[in-house]
Structure 1
Amino acid sequence: MMLPAPVSYHTKRGSISRSQRPLREVLLTRARITNLGLCLLAGVAAVSLLLNLGHYFSRPPAFVVSSALLPAPHLSTVGYDSQLQALDHLVMVPGHAIWKGTAPGRILDEQNWLLEPYQATRGRIEAFYNHVARGVEIALGDEHALLVFSGGQTKKASTTTEAESYLRLAHAARLLPDAHFARATTEDAALDSYQNLLFALARFREYTGRWPARVTVVGYEFKRRRYTELHRAALRWPEARFTYVGVDPEGEDMTAARNGERENGFLPYAQDVYGCHDFLLAKRRSRNVAKRFHSYFSSAPELAGLLNWCPGPHDGGQTALYPGPLPWDHLH
């Protein structure tokens, strides 16, 4: 019996049916539908890339915080005693300059201060001292108060911060009871008045393990509206639990100061509530001479969303308030 002649695979591709072709050749053959699918996928990927790039560059940059990187609320190296856990009143004094001295008799000496040109008057230096003294007085009058001096390393000529220099001044002037007074501390990262308030709240959480129920700010009287109408509202802090104590320089014509506050402080913040665009952002950058970052994403993780918040066109404009939950939402 004769067997069928073997099929030759050297014949033209078209002369052999699919069922007669080797399985390997069939599997490796590119189909028209595969080419079409690749083209469609490539097109979708390109459009998606363009949309994402457009969205990225249309918004201010933001830090991305992974919840996996956040430590437990009570870090192993930090201990909170019963006194600290009983505190519920934040008394914040924002820094405006850096005191270089150590001797109490030379606190008002201009040579012992790093000042801006417009601050080089005796009245301004006395106002700085009065801010410190008034903050101490309020904190000592309330056993549930924590005094926080707030202000970063804003001068190239100094390795210290505004806050540290204010606390050092308070000790040098013997305003505080002793060198180990636990209800006074520093917040060393703030670069402007909005950050003074926000970061002081975060520092309170970092230092005590809890959030305050009341806030008192001691600063210039001519900055009252900036704090009470703009910064407080931006943080959605209850008005009934917020107190502002204004202390202006004595014997100084405040007309120029009030005009400067309106043009360079109140109005810019009224248009850029969180201070994270253009003019106000440039001021922060110019003051961050040591290229420092704050620690509050870790020590106050409940504020991560607010710390990242920088509203733009997609959020309703630069005055759009942060819409997420805040630790003090329950306060009235």
Structure 2
Amino acid sequence: MYGPNEQLTGSPADVYRCFMLPSPISSNRRAKSRHLRSFSSSDLKRALSLLRARSRFTHLSILILTGCFCVSFLYNLAFIFSSPPSSLVAYTPPQSILSTIARNSTLENLSHLVIVPGHAIWTGTQPDEVLNEDRWTLEEYQRGGGGFRIAAFVEHIRRGVEITLKDDTSLLIFSGGQTRLQSTTTEAESYMRLATSLGLFYPESKGTHHEPYFPRATTETHALDSYQNFLFSVARFHEMTGRYPLRVTVVGYEMKRRRFEELHRAAIRFPSHNFEYIGIEPAGEQETESARMGEVNNGYAPYNIDLYGCHDFLLAKRRGRNPFLRFHSYHASAPELRGLLEWCPDDARMVYDGPLPWDIYE
């Protein structure tokens, strides 16, 4: 810069350059550059220090949360493996129920379950009424044909009693619920009454009204179909004896053999070598062939795609057979079967995979 008393020398261009101010843009850039240099030398160190402090805090939080998760996971894992399976948890009914139960000590060692599924309801009381169609509550398709279906029902009952009398370790269970709106009794109770009326338990008594009580025969009065005949009878066996059967024999129609052997037995995973099915067909070849076709279309085929009978078609049949809105007690009296009793998977062919009392039989 020149003082006020100094003279300017040089060319006019030189004089102009001396007084020319820097452009605003260049000035801003230099200011920004100075500001950045200043930030990088002091503020940047402070910022990095803060960032590192936050990082340390975040890492510590992650470590704490991870540790809590691991402890929780290990605790739950130990709880799961130290606890018995839910379907096998011991359950004791309330004292108000237990106080009314006194099991017959002669039943505690029984091991063979004999099941006779019900198909209709006998309303008679006298031996000569056994084959009288008017003394039976029947479906329409069960009527006619000379009473051949009724004769088959009676033969099922006879054979079940016969097997039971020959095996002192067996318990006979007639199974079938209150399935008909026209009758206030159950299929099972009517079968028991028929057997007693014919004097089958004590042949020497010839069916007198003074026939003594036979302790190794009882009823299961809640089943609404063949699958429930099987499963509920196993639960009823436990109610009567306090244990589950080692062997199971089912007496029924020959045409239902495949349904029981291939589907129902497999559904509850009962060992095949401890299971027997005895089939007895009614007389009349034409009627039998028609019945077999009905069994395939209305029994075997539906169960083949719905093993537990809890969907659509088979569920509707159960509802139709429960006009009096009955329900069973087996969740309490056979707690080991709770999981199986409630098993109804979306995949209707999926076999129950929970623990069962007879797993040890394999």
Give the superposition deviation at 1:71. Answer: 1.3
2:361 corresponds to: 331
Give the superposition deviation at 1:82. Answer: 2.8
2:251 corresponds to: 218
* Aligned residue identity for 2:329: S
Relative to 1, partners in 2 of residues 1:179 and 1:120: Cα closer, same or farther, differing over 3 Å? farther
2:37 corresponds to: none
1:116 corresponds to: 139
Q: Is the 8 A contact 1:123 1:252 kept in 2?
A: no
2:113 corresponds to: 90
Write the mapping of 1:76-225 to structure 2, written as runs, cut at 5 A.
Answer: 76-121=99-144, 122-177=147-202, 178-225=211-258
1:18 corresponds to: none
CA distance in 2, matches of 1:97, 1:163: 9
The Cα offsets for residues 215-263 of structure 1, whole Å up to 9 and x where unpaired, read as: 0000000000000000000000000000000001012421111111111
Give the superposition deviation at 1:207. Answer: 0.9
SS in 2 for 1:266: helix
How many residue pairs match? The answer is: 264
Write the mapping of 1:250-269 to structure 2, written as runs, cut at 5 A.
Answer: 250-253=283-286, 254-269=288-303
Q: Structure 2 residue aligned with 1:243, among 261, 276, 285? A: 276
Q: Is the 8 A contact 2:91 2:335 kept in 1?
A: no
Give aligned-pair identity as a percent. Answer: 59
Q: TM-score, normalised by structure 2?
A: 0.71
CA distance in 2, matches of 1:271, 1:72: 39
CA distance in 2, matches of 1:137, 1:131: 10
Give the superposition deviation at 1:70. Answer: 5.5
SS in 2 for 1:330: helix
Structure 1: gaps (5+ residues):
1-64
Q: Is the 8 A contact 2:90 2:335 kept in 1?
A: no
Relative to 1, partners in 2 of residues 1:68 and 1:176: Cα closer, same or farther, differing over 3 Å? closer
Relative to 1, partners in 2 of residues 1:68 and 1:171: Cα closer, same or farther, differing over 3 Å? closer
SS in 2 for 1:218: strand
User: Which structure has the larger Rg over C-alpha atoms?
Assistant: 2
> Which of 116-125 and 228-237 deviates more?
116-125
Relative to 1, partners in 2 of residues 1:70 and 1:305: Cα closer, same or farther, differing over 3 Å? farther
1:301 corresponds to: 335
* Aligned residue identity for 2:349: T
* Aligned residue identity for 1:85: E
CA distance in 2, matches of 1:150, 1:82: 23
The Cα offsets for residues 312-331 of structure 1, whole Å up to 9 and x where unpaired, read as: 1xxxx111011110011101
- Give the helix-richer structure, 1 or 2: 2
Structure 2: gaps (5+ residues):
1-86, 203-210
The Cα offsets for residues 157-201 of structure 1, whole Å up to 9 and x where unpaired, read as: 111000000000000011012441000000000000000000000
CA distance in 2, matches of 1:135, 1:227: 16
Q: Is the 8 A contact 1:70 1:301 kept in 2?
A: no
CA distance in 2, matches of 1:120, 1:84: 38
* Aligned residue identity for 1:197: F
Relative to 1, partners in 2 of residues 1:70 and 1:280: Cα closer, same or farther, differing over 3 Å? farther
CA distance in 2, matches of 1:159, 1:196: 19
The Cα offsets for residues 109-154 of structure 1, whole Å up to 9 and x where unpaired, read as: 0000000111113100000000000000000010010000000000
1:8 corresponds to: none
